[in-house]
Amino acid sequence: MKVFAKDQVVFDFSKANAPVYFVEAGETFWVETDDCYSGQIKTEKVLRPDIDISIMDCSVGPIAVNGAGPGDVLCVEVLAIQLAEQGVMVTSPGLGVLGEKITKAHTKIIPIKNGFAEFNERIKLPLTPMIGVLGVAPAEGSVHCAVPGDHGSNMDTKLVKVGSRVYLPVFVSGANMALGDLHACMGDGELSGTGIETAGRVCLKVDVIKKQKLQRPMLETAEAVYTLASKNDINEAIKTAVNDMVEFLMLKKSLDFADAYRLLSAACDIQISQLVNETITVRVKAPKLDLQLQSVF
Phi, psi angles (nearest 5°) of residue 72 = -95, 175
Residues at the site binding Ca ion, with contacts judged by CB under 5 A: 132, 154, 156, 181
CB under 5 A: which stretch of 17-25, 176-184, 238-246, 250-258 binds Zn ion? 176-184
* Min dist. Cβ of residue 266 to Ca ion (A): 33
CA–CA distance, 175 with 177 (Å, rounded to integer): 6
Site for Zn ion in 12-71 (CB under 5 A): 36
- State which residue, 150 or 156, has the beta carbon closest to Ca ion: 156
Q: Which does 152 bind (CB under 5 to 8 A by kind): Ca ion, Zn ion, none?
A: none
Q: Which is nearer to Ca ion, 156 or 207 (CB)?
A: 156
CB closest to Ca ion, residue no = 132
- Which of residues 132 and 217 has its CB atom nearest to Ca ion in the complex? 132
Which residues, 6 or more positions from 129, have their beta carbon under 8 angstroms from its beta carbon? Answer: 81, 83, 161, 162, 182, 183, 184, 200
Q: Which residues lie below 8 Å from residue 121, measured CB to CB, with a gap of 6+?
A: none
CA dihedral sign of residues 212, 271, 162, 1: positive
Site for Zn ion in 88-147 (CB under 5 A): 132
Cβ 120 to Zn ion shortest distance, Å:
21
Does position 169 interact with Zn ion (CB under 5 A)? The reply is no
83 sits near Zn ion (criterion: CB under 5 A) = no
Give the binding site for Zn ion (CB under 5 A).
36, 132, 181, 197
